[in-house]
Amino acid sequence: MAQRVVPEAIDPEAVEAARAAAMPEEMLHLVVGVFDALSDPTRARILYALTGRPMCVRDLAIITGVSESAVSHQLRFLRDRRLVKPARDGNIIRYSLDDHHVGALFREAEYHADHVRQAIPDHPYS
């Protein structure tokens, strides 16, 4: 087996700082799972709808334009990644975002997309 050659760093300090700041593997897999969940248009529509209020499967199916079965499948995917949570309301189960971080993450992605769409340069955090 050929041995992998590691190139010399251009900026060793930057490399070392990035290594020191790198997140643990377990956390990295959780973060990648969140972005994986956001990578599907139907799931993104569901999450966006849930930023406003809790909703049931039927109403989410109407909004997304897919079957109730497909919405249920996507909700299970989102639930497994702790992005949504169910709550029983009589005979109806309504889904909501798991916590406020999900809405904030979605809003930040939307802000970034808007900046890209309008070719707006980055601005400093206030």
Give 9-67 as a DSSP string. Answer: PSSHHHHHHHHHHPPPHHHHHHHHHHHHHHTSHHHHHHHHHHTTS-EEHHHHHHHHTS-
Q: Which domain holds residue 52?
A: 37-118
Q: Is residue 73 part of a domain?
A: yes
Q: Note whether residue 60 is domain-resident.
A: yes
Q: What is the CATH number of the domain that holds 52?
A: 1.10.10.10
For residue 10, tell me if it sits in a domain. Answer: no
Contact in structure between 109 and 38 (CB atoms under 8 Å) = yes
Residue 123 lies in a domain: no
Could you give the number of structural domains in the chain? 1
pLDDT per residue of the chain (126 residues) written in tens, 0 to 9: 678 888 999 999 999 999 999 999 999 998 898 888 889 999 999 999 999 999 999 999 999 999 999 999 999 999 999 999 999 999 999 999 999 998 898 888 888 888 899 988 887 765
